[in-house]
Amino acid sequence: MSKRDKATKSEAHDDARYVVGIDLGTTHCALAFADASVEKARTEVMPTAQLVSQAAVEERELLPSFLYFAHASEGAMALPWDAKRAYAVGEYARTRGVEAPARVISSAKSWLSHGGIDRRAALLPLGAPEDVEKISPVEASWRYLEHLGEAWDARVARGEESGKLGAQDVIITVPASFDAGARELTVEAAMAAGLERVTLLEEPQAALYAWIEAMGDGWRRHVKPGDVILVVDVGGGTTDFSAIAAVDRGGQLELARVAVGDHILLGGDNMDLALAHVVKGKLEADGKEIDRWQMAALMHACRSAKERLLSDTKVATAPIAIAARGAKLIGGGLRSELTRDEIEAILVEGYFPQVDAGARPVARPRAALTQIGLPYASDPAVTKHLAAFLARQADATRKLEGFPAQTGGALLHPTALLFNGGVMKGVALRARVVSAIDSWLAADGAPPVRVLEGGDLDLAVARGAAAYGLARRGRGIRIRGGTARAYYVGIESPAPAVPGVEPPITAMCLAPFGMEEGTSASLPPHELGVVVGEKVRFRFFGSSVRRADGAGAALERWGKDELQELAPIEVTLPAEGRRDGDVVPVRLQASVTEVGTLLLEAIPIAPVAPDERWKIELNVRAPE
Amino acid sequence: MAETPLPFFARLVLAWTCFFRVLFDGVFARDVSNVQTRGRLPEVRPPTQSMPAIPPPPPADTALILLGIFQREGRLVDFLEQDVTSFSDADVGAAARVVHEGCRKALRAHARITPVRSEEEGTRVTIAAGFAPAEVKLSGNVGGSPPFTGILRHRGWRALDLSLPIPVTGHDAEVIAPAEIEL
């Protein structure tokens, strides 16, 4: 791998006064920052100004990731910095999600990582009325980032050009499970929002940076060489796992992210909805009818009840009260309750069952004619997904230099556990995760995990991203890791066509696992032919387990689930200096940019101009 | 100036103060009577005695914003405006839970409130001379000179800070909650 002008690029970041961490979440966003001009800089959370009702702006620590398109009759969704805006982002948009759901975008981030759709196409909100001008998942993310930028500019920059968010060193977090395409689209959204100095960071890593900052210098007492830290991050919409190893490098402790999990659309919102359905069933048994509006209120009430029951083990029941909708509050409301037994049965046993290490999530075959929608996880058991992750990544530390080899066992053995995400605030849920992992470790003859305590689970990712910004300037330890996947291009092998049988395909590795930012992979020997003036598509694959494949390695067969097919890639050769229709032999080269995105380029074997190369587009819409 | 009608809250305050002045100030009562019966204002006369000026009430907007928050988050105005007498304690209790949860969340989000006295209620406390009468109210056998010793009956509350939302253009504070029409 060759280093690309790394020094000059990272210096460019150093003149920004602030390092800013943005948690661009599925259900909430948050922004934290640190003033790098201060000697012992600490991270702080910026309260984000947002509309909280039709006519009031408040600063809140979290910006709900919702976007509401106001109807013309409602007037402007005025903000202190824009009196004429036609849409609202944040708390008021979330409220309107209950009152006028067809005009509200939610979970834009899940759409952004959904390879089955064209993520640059204006399709959100799904089913919006005709007067709404729909936007793409990329634009929705752009609007959230833009809002954070405007709130920052109004609060911090106050008219100073150098104080604006676009001039700061901004770190945006993405799920560790985001593939190269979703990462690139996130950067695209950030660029559109005017954030020019952006770097991506995996959310579980951010959580660990936040923990390290919260512990101060004392963190080294809790982490020793040989440790494998498992980060379990269960947020509002997604579940994300990562493993980070602590390695002794010549007396220095080094942290290396060794494995990431798959993208699992499963989170706190699913759990609240499950509780709401249980209470709804109880109310309906009493002859009460629940409408859509009450269902949303019920979900809210269940969330509060859940938080109480999960955080205080002495509470046996939590009352649920839903007010009548009209001005007559008393008498028309609905009353019910959630009991500890129900919470245990639904959440602890339903979402975190005590399973053995061999348990795997059940995949439900998708109906042939599915409506356009998000690919939600079909198995709600977080512990099964976790068991599957640890089993898939059993070899994650085997090739790690200077790391003591794990002795036996069918699972990766974590030694320490860090929780993140709002759901993991529940004491009973944390206890269950610990007991499940401990039982798997005991079966493998390994010692139990220690829990790394501390930190605010809602804001840790934003804080950790800002802390990473400081670490990158040499003020703290950095987690190494590089790309969490290896990437492959699919080449159809020449074979006689057989009806009904797909031609065999060879997967050629373009980007090996663990490529560091600012490096390029070596040029693979294989040549591919592309036609001048035509769009040429290739199938594209990723693997989070094949660590040994170098650039150019050609796989003719691979284990089940080792490779996942991603959205295809596409290249168009301009006709300059060549004739339309000519076949030009090229080689494909992968690089990882300083920003943290994958760059694929086609390099002609016989260039007609110096340094000729064409960018290959990721994120092409998957074939129907 | 005379053409601008007074807003409702200013009128409320005016009616309140006028009530007492009509009762206790004969000259003022005669002038009001002239306006009331003959529809004209009294002639301007030099003041015969100096009247203490009543300071204008604070603007009502921020209070209305706070009322709006408690209504939006905790349905407080709905609760207070409804007649509770015909409902069972269970019904009132269910509604009170909604109001309590919402208003408590709203209160904590917008104000930091702390007791004035940190001691437990029911304990004996001694108040030294020079205490602020706004902070400590004496009751019972009030007399003598400080230091006073007595039993803390109520800890008191103090707002450490209050943060209100920024009203945006087009905002009408008098609308505590808009009417809602489902299409």
* Digit-coded pLDDT (tens) for A227-280: 999 999 998 888 999 999 999 888 888 899 999 998 888 888 888 889 999 999
* Residues B79, B77: Cα–Cα separation, whole Å: 5
Inspect the interface and report whether the beta carbons of B172 and A78 lie closer than 8 Å.
Answer: no
Inspect the interface and report whether the beta carbons of A78 and B78 lie closer than 8 Å.
Answer: no
Inspect the interface and report whether the beta carbons of A333 and B91 lie closer than 8 Å.
Answer: yes
CA distances, A218 to each of A211, A213, A221, A375 (Å):
11, 10, 6, 42
Q: Minimal Cα–Cα distance from A335 to chain B, Å?
A: 7
* Residues A536, A540: Cα–Cα separation, whole Å: 13
Six-digit token string for A116: 């089955």
Inspect the interface and report whether the beta carbons of A57 and B72 lie closer than 8 Å.
Answer: no
Identity at A540, one-letter amino acid code: F
Q: What is the pLDDT of residue B57?
A: 84
Q: B65 to chain A: nearest residue by CA?
A: A56
Give yes or no for A57 touching B (CB within 8 A).
yes
For residue B26, what are the domain limits? 8-38
Map out the domains of chain A with their CATH numbers: 2-201 (3.30.420.40), 268-351 (3.90.640.10), 486-616 (no CATH)
User: pLDDT (tens digit, 9 = 90+) per residue, B109-156?
Assistant: 999 999 999 999 999 999 999 989 899 999 988 888 888 999 999 999
Q: Minimal Cα–Cα distance from B112 to chain A, Å?
A: 15
For residue A564, what is the enclosing H or E element? strand A564-572
The answer to whether the beta carbons of residues A108 and A102 sit under 8 Å apart is: no
B174 in a structural domain: no
B3 in a structural domain: no
B177 in a structural domain: no
Give yes or no for A479 touching B (CB within 8 A).
no
Average pLDDT over residues B9-28: 68
Q: Which residue has the tokens 């979402």?
A: A351
B75 in a structural domain: yes
How many other β-carbons are positioned within 10 Å of the β-carbon of residue B62? Answer: 13
B170 in a structural domain: no
Q: Which residues of chain A are within 8 Å of residue B65 when distances are taken between CB atoms?
A: 56
Q: Minimal Cα–Cα distance from B8 to chain A, Å?
A: 21
* Residues A96, A66: Cα–Cα separation, whole Å: 9
Inspect the interface and report whether the beta carbons of B68 and A79 lie closer than 8 Å.
Answer: no
* Residues A133, B72: Cα–Cα separation, whole Å: 29
Q: How many domains does chain B have?
A: 3
Pairing of strands B124-127, A67-69: unpaired
Chain B residues touching chain A at CB-CB below 8 Å: 65, 68-69, 72, 75, 78-79, 81-82, 84, 87, 90-92, 94-95, 97-99, 101, 109, 163, 165-172, 178, 180
- Cα dihedral A355/A360/A361/A366 (nearest 10): -150
Q: What is the pLDDT of residue A429?
A: 92
B77 in a structural domain: yes
The model carries a pTM of: 0.84
pLDDT more than 90, % of chain A: 46
Q: Minimal Cα–Cα distance from B139 to chain A, Å?
A: 37
B181 in a structural domain: no
User: Within this chain, do residues B120 and B104 fall inside the same structural domain, yes or no?
Assistant: no
Q: Bridge-partner residues for B27, per DSSP?
A: none
Inspect the interface and report whether the beta carbons of A56 and B165 lie closer than 8 Å.
Answer: yes
Q: What is the pLDDT of residue A7?
A: 39
How many other β-carbons are positioned within 10 Å of the β-carbon of residue B50? Answer: 6
* Residues A365, A368: Cα–Cα separation, whole Å: 9
Residue among A75, A304, A330 whose CB faces B84 most closely? A330
User: Within this chain, do residues B65 and B106 fall inside the same structural domain, yes or no?
Assistant: yes
Give yes or no for A328 touching B (CB within 8 A).
yes
B51 in a structural domain: no
Give yes or no for A317 touching B (CB within 8 A).
no
Average pLDDT over residues A165-190: 94
Residue among B65, B91, B169 whose CB faces A330 most closely? B91
User: pLDDT (tens digit, 9 = 90+) per residue, B105-122?
Assistant: 999 999 999 999 999 999
